[in-house]
Amino acid sequence: MRLPHPRKTRQIAAAAALAAAALTGGAGHAAADSDTGDRSTQYYLALGDSLAAGFQTLPSSHNYDHYVVGQGYAQDLARTLGAQAQSRNQRFEFTGLGCPGESTRTMIEGGCGFEHPYTDPQLVEAEAFLRAHHDDNVIVTLDIGANDVDRCALGGRFDVPCVLAGIETMGPNLNTILDRLQAVAGPHTRIVGMNLYDPFLAKYLEPGGQVLAAVTLPLTGMVNSSIGDAFARHAIPLADVAAAFATEAIIPMVPYGGHHVPLNVARVMEWTNMSRNDIHANDAGYQVIADTFLPLLQ
């Protein structure tokens, strides 16, 4: 998902690397060598944007100036998958390539604006990883596409032509990404994608914002339809995060903050950081996303 251009910091990148190493026991570079046909290790590769990177602002944040990475659904999944692997007497390695701000275009061409520890486009790095682990047990999760349209919701309004243009380019780019991942994936590689929740439902709570919140629903539906079409075309399972967040549920009305609001609004407020205008999931929301992925990874 898109965020205002954060100041690049090597400290943050190093912290993310340390967090990944702590989870995995030292996962290597995307193009690291592996023994052919190693069944004694379960590999997990997380691809995508800021959600895959585990981006969250901190309570003290103003305009995204205080944040953490490495605290999201991929890390939640890594903990669970790692424990499952351990119960099978398997080693476990987690590699996270998610880059905050990544779009379908930058995933293919490069140019993600957030500092990350690799130089090639994320898709090229992912292809290198999958080639290196062609005969191994590999799980891949992918979330991408939000940044193709999030830029259309700047300044408190929604630019419908901008959303439509973003969807028009997102579809072909997604097909390219999935084509290339499948072309190098080995026989024991499982790829699972996800669709998107609608953080802008939070506008419902602003004065005069109920109509604006309602406008976002069909736009989110169109984005998710495009994502769903691409994954279905490639016969790749899709974690229905939109359903998990009750994105379409304008009823029932439920209590939130001393008022009664639609269920979808309450879920967004409870499971994201939109209370401080941060579209990213919070700890609870990231766990919901991980739990939505998990049955498709077993």
State the Cα angle at 268 between 262 and 273, rounded to 5°: 145
What average pLDDT does the structure give for the chain? 89
Closest CA to 241 of 193, 296, 197, 298: 197
- Residues with Cβ < 8 Å from 40, sequence gap 6 or more? 90, 91
- Cα separation, 289 vs 287, in Å, equals 5
- Segment 152-191, tens digit of pLDDT: 876 667 788 999 999 999 999 999 999 999 999 999 999 9
Token digits of residue 59: 């309570």
Which amino acid does the sequence have at 153?
A: A
Which amino acid does the sequence have at 273?
A: N
Which amino acid does the sequence have at 25?
A: G
- Helix crossing, 210-233 with 160-184: angle to 10°? 30
In terms of C-beta density within 10 A (0-12 exposed, 13-18 middle, 19 or more buried), how is residue 252 classed? Answer: exposed
The SS3 call for residue 90 is: coil
pLDDT confidence of residue 39: 80
**In which residue are the tokens 């190493």 written?**
21
What are the residue ranges in the chain where pLDDT is below 70?
1-38, 154-156
pLDDT confidence of residue 153: 78
Closest CA to 78 of 98, 104, 58: 98
What is the 8-class DSSP label of residue 100? T
Given a contact cutoff of 8 angstroms between Cβ atoms, the answer to whether 202 and 274 are in contact is yes
- Segment 232-257, tens digit of pLDDT: 999 999 999 999 999 999 999 999 99
Closest CA to 216 of 284, 268, 293: 268
Q: What element of type H or E holds 246?
A: none
pLDDT confidence of residue 152: 87
| CATH of region 10-198+224-240+289-297 | 3.40.50
Kindly calculate the radius of gyration of the chain based on its CA atoms and give it in whole angstroms: 19
Given a contact cutoff of 8 angstroms between Cβ atoms, the answer to whether 90 and 47 are in contact is no
pLDDT confidence of residue 150: 86
CA-to-CA separations, 267 to 158, 198, 199, 247, 263, in angstroms, rounded: 21, 10, 9, 8, 6
